[in-house]
Amino acid sequence: MKKNICFAAIAALGIAAGCTKEASDITPEPGGGGFSITVSAPATKTVFDPQTYAVTWEQDDELGVYIVGGSEAGLYKFTNVSGNTFSCPEFTPDAGTLYSYYVLYPYHEDFTVTDGKSNAVVNISSGRQILPDDAGHIKTPLFGVAQSSGAETPSVLLKHAASVIRINIENNSGSALSVSEVGLVSSDPDAIMSGTFSLNFITGRLIPYGTQNSSVTELPEPKTIANGSSANFFVAVAPFAASDLSVTVNGDKLRKTSETGFDFKEGYVYSTSVLYDEVPLSRTIEDPNVFAAITELDASRNYITVSVDGTKYYVCPESGEFRDGEPVPVTLSVVPGVRWIFTQPDSYRIVYDKTAESLTMYSSAHEFNNPKIIDFWYENKEGTGWYLSKTMSPGLYYIRTNTGWDSWAGKGYSFEASLANPYVLICSDKVSISIDKSNKQFNIKLGLYLSEFEILQEGTTGESPVDAKITPFSSKCYALIPADADPTTLLRDIEAGVWMPMTGAVDNDTRWHFSEDRIFDFGQIIIDLRNGRIRFDAVE
């Protein structure tokens, strides 16, 4: 059961709206398989949009038709067979009998009519929007009454029982915006925006039963709006006055569309637009009190938000002026405060520290965003050496308990860079290390093969270790080792969940150590290159 609501303005722009032709273009076509009626819905007036609003039908759409008169009075289901023609094989009119046809869309099995009043409960809601810029999901109730005698085909002019809001959302957040729902909400808890109603066919009046002060359109497949782009979403509302309205996106309130509200009228299409200029920060893995994002922003003003314990807060400075790399004191507020000012288009790293109550922004040119490069001396078995280098960046790092010089291949684990700090590398994959009495230790290497490193300078003459393939593994390459190991054993006992000092060296003798005989599972490993520390978090 479908009804397509088509805006001519959208069709003119060439955007698919799920409509085949305007209602004014539809002419009656002969039906088949029973008694037929024809229905039409006029182009609806618009308040802010000068274009028209029309209804078309799809085959197998169903109408509830309550027929009054003759011996076969009652509710019948009429199905669309062609254009605006609906048929029902179960109903056969009596010759010369005057019938009244009460038509309701969508079909409801409890639909009855007594003295022009219907006890069918109609629902006003927005449904689920499938396609971008498409209002075909809107299934607001349509109703109408017509009379005809005998086998004459009645022609029913349908009226709208609800109105529609077209919401244009422009994304200026600096990154793609994934939209799963869009809605309208009133601050007045008694406002009637959507819900269930009884409909009087004579007066067109809706009597509310169970209602809400909001109306929401869901998207089963989230719509992605690129930064700098916009999209239209359609929300159905009941024809009642609603005050102090706000647009919601994914459950979060955006700017208010009106301080005084709208007086929604049935059959009208209203339009509003909002600018999504909020930059949401995500909680970092390595520190629950640090939130961050890397985002592309143009020369504009934006709000910065964080979500703490399910509540969205605006990160508010005294002045929103951009300061590259400088911590700015901030406070959290549930309502929008001062916008941040970004002076030029760039990629920004934004970091909010809840404990320090500060926010720091880094441009792409700031040294903090530059990767750290280390270089070290490699010496092969023949005593020939080279300087090698490697960027400390996301990628594979290798772990194995057997730490012999020339036989350690190691297992690679993927490390990702933190949003807040490019020098913090995080492995969130489960790491299992089997420990027994003879081997309670392991190490971490930056690379497995010498081809993963760059040769900076030859120390002596001879072929390079990469070209000569002197050894299959980078057996003496750079490793991350404990900085406070026992000088006699060269071991350091691991304390799960604790930051431990770490250093880098061409060293396979100094190792991390377990004090228990068991299989040890790490939930994550965090390497802080800038501060020279490492943390092993056990699986909870």
Question: pLDDT digits over 514-540, tens only?
Answer: 776 555 677 889 998 888 999 988 776
**For residue 57, how many C-alpha atoms fall within 13 Å in the half-sphere facing its CB?**
26
| CA-closest candidate to residue 212, choices 254, 182, 242 | 242
Question: Minimal CA–CA distance to 100: which of 77, 72, 141?
Answer: 72
Could you give the dihedral angle defined by the CA atoms of residues 471, 476, 479 and 482, in that order, rounded to the nearest 10 degrees?
Answer: 140
Chain centroid to CA 355: 28
Is residue 19's pLDDT more than 50? no
Q: Provide φ and ψ at 522, rounded to 5°.
A: -100, 130
Cβ-contact 270, 164 below 8 angstroms: yes
What is the β-pairing status of strands 230-237 and 163-171?
antiparallel
The model's pLDDT over 164-216, given as tens digits with 9 standing for 90+, comes to 888 888 888 888 888 888 888 888 888 888 888 888 887 778 888 888 888 88
Residue 515 has a pLDDT of: 72
So what's the pLDDT on residue 352? Answer: 95
- Name the E strands within 13-141: 35-40, 53-57, 62-68, 74-82, 85-88, 98-105, 113-114, 117-124
Model confidence at 54, pLDDT cuts 50, 70, 90, reads low
Return the ∠ at Cα 108 (arms to 102 and 112), rounded to 5°.
45
Contact 134, 213 (CB under 8 A): no
pLDDT of residue 383: 60
> In this predicted structure, what is the pLDDT of residue 244?
81
Mean pLDDT of 50-63: 69
Cα 474 to the center of its chain, rounded Å: 43
Average pLDDT for 82-93: 89
**With contact defined as beta carbons under 8 Å apart, do 21 and 51 qualify?**
no
**99: pLDDT strictly greater than 90:** yes
Q: Taking CA 518 as the corner, what is the angle to CA 512 and CA 519, rounded to the nearest 5 degrees?
A: 80
**Which pLDDT belongs to residue 24?**
26
Greater confidence, 133 or 256?
256
Q: Do the beta carbons of residue 450 and residue 410 sit within 8 Å?
A: no
The counts of H helices and E strands in the chain are 2, 46
Where do the domains of the chain lie?
3-275, 279-365, 372-538
The predicted pLDDT at position 456 comes to: 65
Collapsing DSSP states into helix, strand and coil, what is residue 84? Answer: coil
159 vs 125, more confident: 159
Compute CA distances 42 → 55, 240, 425, whole Å.
Answer: 8, 21, 62
The pLDDT tens digits of the residues spanning 29-38 come to 333 457 888 8
d(CA 502, CA 478): 13
Q: How far apart are CA 195 and CA 245, in angstroms?
A: 17
Whether the predicted model's global pTM rises above the 0.85 cut: no
Cis omega (within 30 of 0) for bond into 106: yes
Percentage of the chain modeled with pLDDT above 70: 75
Whole-number CA gyration radius for the chain = 34
* Most confident residue range from 46-55, 249-258, 416-425: 416-425
Return the number of other C-beta atoms located less than 10 Å from residue 309's C-beta.
5
- Binned at pLDDT 50, 70 and 90, residue 129 comes out as low
Share of the chain above pLDDT 90, in %: 16
pLDDT of residue 114: 82
pLDDT (average), residues 452-470: 58
Confirm if 135 and 44 have CB atoms less than 8 A apart.
no
Q: Buried (b) or exposed (e) across 146-165, using 16+ Cβ within 10 A?
A: bebeeeeebebebbbbbbbb
Beta carbons within 10 angstroms of residue 338's beta carbon: 17
Best-predicted range by mean pLDDT (54-68, 174-188, 197-211, 354-368)? 354-368
Query: Tokens in use for 303?
Result: 């709000």
